[in-house]
Structure 1
Amino acid sequence: MTDSERDAVYTQLCKTMTGLGEANAPLFLARFALLAIERIDDAAAARALIEAARTSPPTAT
């Protein structure tokens, strides 16, 4: 995936959550996470990504 493609996908993710509204965003993210875990199809890789997300939170700008 190119940087441009990654940016476009992330933009789509953000716009989708905005469209769903704040109340529905957590459920959407949970569903997205489950679908991503299924697609990754590697428990160790999925666990490593979960840990990376936990220990490397985004910084506020």
Structure 2
Amino acid sequence: MNDLDLDRVYTQLCKTLSAAGEAQAMNILARYALLSMLEIGDPERIGTLIERAARGDAPAAGAAA
């Protein structure tokens, strides 16, 4: 995924969350997280990504997480 792709899908996520409203945003994010975990399918990698998110790490430009 390049920077343009990342920007496009991040913008889509932000618009979707805004359109759903604050009351539904957390539910959408939770469902998205579960779907992403199923797609990734690697518990170790998922655990690492959760830790990185908790630390506030920024994704590397043009690199997979």
Aligned to 1:3: 3
C-alpha distance in 2 between matches for 1:39 and 1:54:
21
By relative contact order (CA 8 Å, sep 6+), the higher-ranking structure is: 2
Determine helix, strand or coil for the equivalent of 2:31: helix
Aligned to 2:62: none
Report the TM-score, using the length of structure 2 for normalisation: 0.85
The one-letter code matched in structure 2 to 1:17 is L
Q: CA RMSD in A?
A: 1.2
Which runs of no fewer than 5 residues in structure 1 stay unpaired? none
Identity, % of aligned positions: 47
Aligned to 1:39: 39
Which runs of no fewer than 5 residues in structure 2 stay unpaired? 59-65
The one-letter code matched in structure 2 to 1:12 is Q
Number of residue equivalences: 58
